[in-house]
Amino acid sequence: MPIFKSKLAFITLTLLALAGCAAPQPEVSEQFQNDWEFKTVKGKVALVESAPEAIARRIELVRNAESSIDIEYFSWNKDTTGLLFLNELVLAADRGVKVRIILDDLLVFNEKWLASAATHENLDIQIFNPFNSRKAGWLTRAFDFQKHQKDLDHRLHEKYMNIDGETLVLGGRNIGDDYFSYKPKNNFFDLDILVQGEVTEDFERNFEEHWIAHYTSDIEFLIEFKDKKPLQSFHRTFEKVTKSKQDALADIESRVRGLQEPNYIAAKLTPVFDSAEKLHDSMPYFRHRIEHFVYRYPSAKKELVISTPYMLPNEDGFKVVTDFANHGADITLVTNSMASNDSGFVPAYYENHRDELLDKGVSIYEYDTHAIHLKNVHTRKGHYHNKAFILDGKLSYIGSSNFDPRSDFLNLEFGIMIESEEFAQRLQHYLLGDKSLYWNVERNEDGKLEWRRGNQLKNKDPNYGGASKVFDKLYRAINIENEL
């Protein structure tokens, strides 16, 4: 099985870097970030309704840009949509629009196509926290990580696009076919919003802080290449990759032309950012700021919907879940099933904590890896990637962070709080309007777990074979939960 072989190779490399190297979580006082002050402003938000619409909206915004485009992403694939989107940015730069991009370095190697695009006088690319190893692939990078783990463990996980300082695109999507449903299989069910209003200024300040910081480096100093003609390496790569993808390009173009005006909803908006100090002290600035806002928020605290790809406890366990459960709240968790999880490691640890969540009275909906999204281009096998929560049907959160130790202690994250009952209803419908996408996990009369989906009933993790269980035991044995 090719999947098995690639997974085994990945395990081998990862073990070299991570075995025995998971950093302990720091001690965090209950008063940490108690003095954090937030700012709430009026604005408006629109939910992007599907994966294909998400790439169409981005292209439309870029084509309408007049002066500036700022972008941050964790990953940017060298595939049809990744190259198409970068080509649209090059065309915008040709018109005189100033384009700035910050990319995390974890998945950037010797990407000459990226560096070539950055030679445009109006397009600059900065790499966040670059590795020392670049040309020899994962093997040398794994050793590089092992040697410099304290520094390289911190990654930029923010996802952000700002057009002319007027419209933001925020959410969980990165740039690539699997985020826009143009990959034949293994696409993500994910989430984006469009945001307008005064809040854009706060996100601009956050971007600017990263742009001028010592922890970002110009891509031209990291990747060596020679172009005989301007942007030659990029154009060659674009033409080579997209040559056989004309149907996909035509489909995307038709969707761009068919876009309607976004359905904006007025709301009160509160941005929440991480602190760059996390790169030095690994403290959970972002999570504690979110928690302080939620605890102070004037509502009954009777209903909480949590949506996250990965659900793992931090240094104080599932504190928010425990507090809400003790308060008598109805708590719903929407997350990946063991089979749908795109991480090879998370299922091994999530399985250990699922019983604890059920004991707290949490209703768990696990995404079916074969769920069908009728609005998508391809629906064969998928992963859940929505990062959000909804409190009492009126306060929503959307951002880049997962409910796991990595988002808490290692990655730089951000998000936005949205106060609007209308938007909360729309978001809840987007996440849970179609229950056929999920397996509802419950205990039967004998106390054993069972999974229900429509008329189907399973007494084992659906679509999760014995070989995966064997690997799960290995992953738990090497104890890397704090890295996830």
Give the model confidence (pLDDT) of 369-393 as tens digits. 999 998 999 988 899 999 999 999 9
- Average pLDDT of 117-145? 92
- Identify which of 14-28, 140-154, 245-259 has the greatest average pLDDT: 245-259
**pLDDT of 156 higher than 80:** yes
Mean predicted confidence (pLDDT) in 27-46: 94
Instruction: Indicate the Cα dihedral angle 463, 430, 425, 171, nearest 10°.
Output: 110
CA dist 276 → 283, 347, 450 (Å): 10, 30, 43
The pair of three-digit structure tokens given for residue 55, joined into one six-digit string = 């790439």
- Above 70 in pLDDT, residue 346? yes
The pLDDT of residue 373: 93
Domains 2-36+299-483 and 53-257 share a fold: yes
Q: Which CATH number fits domain 2-36+299-483: 3.40.50.720, 3.40.50.1970, 1.10.760.10, 3.30.870.10?
A: 3.30.870.10
pTM score, whole prediction: 0.95
Residue 144 pLDDT exceeds 50: yes
CA distances from 283 to 15, 84, 274, 309 (A): 25, 38, 10, 22
Res 70: pLDDT: 99
* Domain coordinates in residue numbering, the chain: 2-36+299-483, 53-257
pLDDT at position 151 is 93
Give me Rg for the CA atoms of the chain: 22
* Predicted pLDDT of residue 21: 56
For residue 215, count other CB atoms closer than 10 A to its CB: 16
**Mean pLDDT of the chain, nearest integer:** 93
Is 10 a residue whose pLDDT tops 80? no
Fold of 53-257: Endonuclease; Chain A (3.30.870)
What pLDDT digit, counting tens, does each position of 424-435 carry? 999 999 999 999
- Whether 220 shows a pLDDT value over 50: the answer reads yes
How are beta strands 303-307 and 68-73 bridged, if at all? unpaired
What's the rounded mean pLDDT across residues 161-171? 98
